[in-house]
Amino acid sequence: MTTRVVFNQKGGVGKTTVLANLAAIAAERGRRTLVIDLDAQCNASQYLLSSDGRQAECGSADFFEATLERGRRREDLADYVTETPFENLSIIAAHPDLEEIRVKLEAKHKIYKLRQALEKLTGFDEIFIDTPPALNFYSQSALIAAHRVLVPFDCDDFARQALYALFDNIHEIQDDHNPSLVIDGIVVNQFQPRAKLPQRMLSELTEEGHPIIDAHVTSSVKVRESHDASIPLIHYAPGHKVTQQLVALYDTL
């Protein structure tokens, strides 16, 4: 079982889109796949559950609340899983209450609870963890729990500056908490192949030694349509170029 977190401290880089679509591709390939949504904005949960009006009875907020009140509910992650409308794809959904309980979790130092629960979880081949666009309790918990981390990037200078701090933070978590964490690399999202700035920026990042993944993902209105329909691209538009770029990305991981 491989656990991968898709993480960037900067918002707007397509983190949730990349994660949900990679998970859907894994599931379509016959891999038993679980998404864990730790972002209080709940975008991954809405994307993967809403096409048939499905709602989660419980989720990641309930799991973390259970760690705060020992004995009130089980801390078994399997108890918080909801099946999505898509075969082989399940989710532990997020809830806005995640933000409300974050301070309590930090105060009681529950940072290792997700890793401990994942070590006991069975029945899945791949796990993808969605995180908030910030280095907070939930993203740190995910990085401590994961085997691998994928970093989405959109070739913006603000995103580039944030990238340096992001890698410093990942390396610190590797040193202090999770030495086996592997960096898959930087996936370029919303790529504009004919524009000069992205080409120059990628060249400079490569020269600096940053691990740029060759499979880039371009922008398209089809992605927004997929969001609106709450149907991942592998099901919504399997032959579309962005879908095939995401499949190529999955195949590199």
The model's pLDDT over 20-63, given as tens digits with 9 standing for 90+, comes to: 999 999 999 999 999 999 999 999 999 999 998 889 999 999 99
The gap from C-alpha 2 to its chain's centroid, in whole angstroms, comes to 13
Alpha-carbon span 77 to 202, nearest angstrom: 39
Contacts of 212 (CB under 8 A, 6+ apart): 185, 186, 188, 202, 205, 206
The answer to whether the CB of 245 falls within 8 A of the CB of 216 is yes
pLDDT over 70, % of the chain? 98
Q: Residues of 128-166 as b/e, b for ≥16 C-beta within 10 angstroms?
A: bbbbbbebbbbbbbbbbbbbbbbbbbbbbeebbebbeeb
Mean pLDDT of 185-210: 88
Collapsed DSSP state (helix, strand, coil) of residue 143: helix
Residue 143 banded pLDDT, cuts 50, 70, 90: very high
Q: Return the pLDDT at 73.
A: 60
Alpha-carbon span 114 to 142, nearest angstrom: 7
Residue 159 banded pLDDT, cuts 50, 70, 90: confident
Mean pLDDT of 91-104: 97
Q: Return the pLDDT at 74.
A: 67
Residue 93 banded pLDDT, cuts 50, 70, 90: very high
Residue 66 has pLDDT above 70, yes or no: yes
Which of 51, 49, 25 is closest to 37 using CA atoms? 49
Token couple for 6: 């898709």
**Pick the residue with more confidence: 197 or 3?**
3
Q: Return the pLDDT at 213.
A: 96
Mean pLDDT of 76-81: 95
Q: CA 153 → CA 26, 78, 156, 175, 220, distances in Å?
A: 22, 32, 8, 24, 16
Residue 198 has pLDDT above 90, yes or no: no
Residue 199 has pLDDT above 80, yes or no: yes
Question: Across-strand partners of 218?
Answer: 191
Alpha-carbon span 178 to 155, nearest angstrom: 28
Considering Cα of 91, then 97, then 102, then 107, what sign does the dihedral take?
negative
pLDDT in tens, 167-177: 999 999 999 99
Q: Return the pLDDT at 28.
A: 98
Q: Return the pLDDT at 197.
A: 83
Mean pLDDT of 247-252: 98
